[in-house]
Amino acid sequence: MKCGGSAGGYDINATTARLSASLAKYESKISNVIFKSLPLLEHLQEGKEVRDGGLELAIHFEYGKAQGVADAGGLKEFNYYEELNLTPTDNVKTATTNWRSLAEPIVISWKESRENAAPNRFKLLKQKTENAMNSMKDEMNDIFWGISGGTASMIPTSIPSIITGSGLGSGDTVYGLAKASNTWMYSQEESAIGEFADNGLKKMRSLFNSCAANSPNKTDAPTLALTDQTVFEAYEDLLPPQYRTDSLTKGDIGFQQLFFKGIPVRFDRQCPLDSSDLHQIFFLNKKYVKLVVDKEGNFKTWPFTWMGPRNFFWATQIVFMGQVICTNFESQGVGYGIVVSD
């Protein structure tokens, strides 16, 4: 039997086409399922940028401002016919990073196909697709938190690698640039926070304000505070108790959503501990840290291929090609060394 042919009235080509057509129905849901269930993934994709190929990703960093009125260059006061300032200001640096490619397989054997003959064959496809999506979602989340393992140069850069201050991140290199010699790549940092019940709110306030004050646009501010469940519940404990009832038989205690200075406070179950095995909290600004993807690698599913006759199964892949990009490090922040006592 030739690959893609038929035998005994069984049409491999027809089954392959039907599997691919059915998979296409699920494709539009894949990105949503992957992103909407985990806070870090969801936040990164909110500012997602889609690009069209290229050997590398160029990242342009605005790391400084023009000189002030009292300095030699930049803004200058003048009167009548006085000569104006023409001194150029160099405040942009460009770095490059490779695209990072990942693929999650979906495989259906001929025997499975026969054991689950139509219409159950397509219920099996749905189950396998959902399983692949959930597996990819969990692994991508681990990658973005820097806890997945794998080859660092081949997977997307993690948030804990991007958002580091001059303390924990003094020796880090991101996008080929050493932070120690490019200090504008340091994020805001609150170290050794200690007991959250005593110091948490004060340190969160300082971190939020520092991120806002060091953003390129002074109307910018963090858009999400993200931590682990332990710190999230400690923050919840600091809020005044709330009891609400709308009937004689039901009561509701607690808040459905938590905020700090108007931004959501959320927890991600994969948010790692710091290098001292203490808790940490991240302040992210999605305007400057986001996911950049290739238009053909935006969690795209490819048509099924019949792998016979040597291998009796159909296979396809969910493909990602992209990178986590930060264009302004100083607008992000991290607080670490958090202790939460029972």
Query: pLDDT digits over 212-260, tens only?
Result: 999 888 789 999 999 999 999 999 999 876 655 565 566 566 677 899 9
CA-CA distance, 323 to 298, in Å (whole number)?
Answer: 11
What's the pLDDT score for residue 88?
75
- pLDDT over 90 at 38, yes or no: no
By the 8 A CB rule, do 34 and 41 touch? yes
Percentage of the chain beyond pLDDT 90 is 47
Q: Cα torsion for 323, 333, 341, 192, to the nearest 10°?
A: 120
CA-CA distance, 111 to 87, in Å (whole number)?
Answer: 73
CATH topology of domain 9-63+88-339: phage-related protein like fold (3.90.1690)
Q: Which residues of 13-43 are buried (b: 16+ CB within 10 A; e: fewer)?
A: eebbebbbebbeebeeebbebbbeebbbbbb
Q: How far is CA 309 from CA 245, 305, 313, in A?
A: 65, 12, 9
The per-residue pLDDT for range 162-174, each reduced to its tens digit, is 999 988 766 789 9
The per-residue pLDDT for range 312-339, each reduced to its tens digit, is 998 999 999 999 999 999 999 999 999 9
Q: What is the mean pLDDT of residues 297-302?
A: 88
Cross-strand partners of 108: 314
What's the pLDDT score for residue 205?
97
Select, from the ranges 14-23, 127-136, 284-293, the one with the highest average predicted confidence (pLDDT).
284-293
What's the pLDDT score for residue 24?
64
pTM of the full predicted structure? 0.82
What's the pLDDT score for residue 87?
77
Domain boundaries, the chain: 9-63+88-339
Tokens of 78: 């003048």
Question: What is the separation of C-alpha 58 from the centre of its chain, rounded to a whole number of angstroms?
Answer: 19
Handedness of CA 133, 138, 139, 141 (dihedral sign): positive
